[in-house]
Structure 1
Amino acid sequence: MSKQNPYLNARREWDERYGGLISRARNWQLMAAGSLAVAVVAVVGIAFVGSQSKIQPFVVVTDQLGSPVAVARPAPVARADLDKRLMVAQLAAFIKDVRAMVPDAVAQQVTLNRVYAMAGRDVAGFLNDFFKDNSPFSVDGSVTRVEISSVIPQGGETYQVSWVETKAKPGATAVAEHWKAVVTVGMDAKLAENPKVALWNPFGIYVKSISWTKEVL
């Protein structure tokens, strides 16, 4: 019987003991990598599914008793149409804020803050001159109410705004006047990045130029 080689025996013991450990460790690494890949795919899938809106709005028409008589999905609004509607609404609010006057000085100052947040440099100068001769603050209880009649696009960034002003003083008969303005507007996202401006003008819409005249009917 041949003598056993102690070095071969030691090597064989090392292979059996540590080789098995290495093999098991490698298997665990492969399993961990596979689990991580599955987790990443699952997270991406969940994020994608979560980003898809599952809420479907419906318009329900009811009769006088409140019973539904028609149900339909609203037609999608194009971005251009949405921007146009937003511009029209902001312009109407701007004209109303510029021309209206209330007895409460604090409320009137809030209105002026909104006005100047939408005023471009040239328009701000125009308004400064206008308010020098026409104080926006009521000193005798006078009130000016503004009712917007229409905001009509004139092409490009220009709009025509028509409105009725009703001026009233305590003890006097209210007087209604018809006015019309031509307004040029623009959008600047940087305006909305200014915290002071964003509070009053979150969309970054500003008025480039404005002129108005009283209509003679």
Structure 2
Amino acid sequence: MSKQNPYLNARREWDERYGGLISRARNWQLIAAGSLAVAVVAVVGIAFIGSQSKIQPFVVVTDQLGSPVAVARPAPVAKSDFDKRLMVAQLAAFIKDVRSMLPDAVAQQVTLNRVYAMAGRDVAGFLNDFFKDNSPFSVDGSVTRVDISSVIPQGGEAYQVSWVETKARPGATSVAEHWKAVVTVGVDAKLAENPKVALWNPFGIYVKSISWTKEAL
């Protein structure tokens, strides 16, 4: 019979007793690390999903009684289309302001502030000369109403604007006139950064040149 080695016996006993504990501890550490990684991924995923918009707009067409007759999801508007619509709206407002005459002087001054906030240097000079001969302020109760008919892109920075002016004077019959203008425009972001201008022209759109003519009927 071989002699028992006390050292080997002790080592074998240590391996059996503590080696298993260490191995199980490492396994639990790996499981814990894996669970933590899964939890982190889940939290990030939930946060990402939560940040996405869940609202889907729909256009609902109703009849005279308010009952829906058609439902459709609106098509997204391209940036270029949005820019064109914005330019058209701003030009229509500019012509309406520059050619209108209101009975109230304070309201008329507000329209002039908007006009000059969109006027380039050359256009500002043109308007100064025009208003010298055609005062924008009503002195006898006269008013001029402007109805924009169309704003049509002409290529590049040019637009053609058509409108109808209805001039009314107390005790006189109203007169309607048809007008047309060719306008070139530009965009200067620095204008929108100027606090004095941004109040009236937040988009930095300005009129570079303008010419208008009365149309013969």
Q: What TM bracket, shorter-length normalisation? A: 0.7 to 0.9
Deviation sequence 1:31-72 (CA, Å, 0-9, x none): 999999999988976774455322211001112221112111
Q: Which residue of 2 aligns with 1:9?
A: 9
Structure 1 unaligned segments of length 5 or more: list them.
Answer: none
Alpha-carbon separation, structure 1, partners of 2:85 and 2:45: 36
Q: Deviations over 1:114-173 (max 9, x none)?
A: 001111111111111111111110011100000001101000110000001011110011
Change (3 A) 1:15 1:135: farther
CA RMSD between the two structures: 4.6
Structure label with greater radius of gyration = 2
Q: TM-score, normalised by structure 2?
A: 0.79
Shift >4 Å, 4+ stretches? 1-51
Q: How far apart are residue 28 of structure 1 and its match?
A: 17
Q: Which residue of 2 aligns with 1:47?
A: 47
Identical residues among aligned pairs (%):
94
Q: Which shifted more, 170-179 or 3-12?
A: 3-12
* Distance in 1 of aligned mates of 2:186 and 2:198: 16
Deviations 1:75-126 (A, max 9, x none): 1111101110111111000000000001100000000000011111111111
Secondary structure of residue in 2 paired with 1:89: helix
Match of 2:173 in 1: 173
Alignment of 1:4-153 (within 5 A): 48-49=48-49, 51-153=51-153
Q: Point out the more displaced range, 8-17 or 125-134.
A: 8-17
Single out whichever of 42-51 and 23-32 deviates more from structure 2. 23-32
TM-score for both structures, normalised by structure 1: 0.79
Select between 22-31 and 175-184 the one with higher mean Cα deviation: 22-31
SS in structure 2 of the partner of residue 96 of structure 1:
helix
Q: How many residues align?
A: 217
Residues 128/60 of structure 1: CA separation in 2 closer, same or farther (3 Å cut):
same
Structure 1 SS opposite 2:9: helix
CA distance in 2, matches of 1:159, 1:189: 20
Residues 13 and 69 of structure 1: CA distance in aligned 2, closer, same or farther (over 3 Å) = same
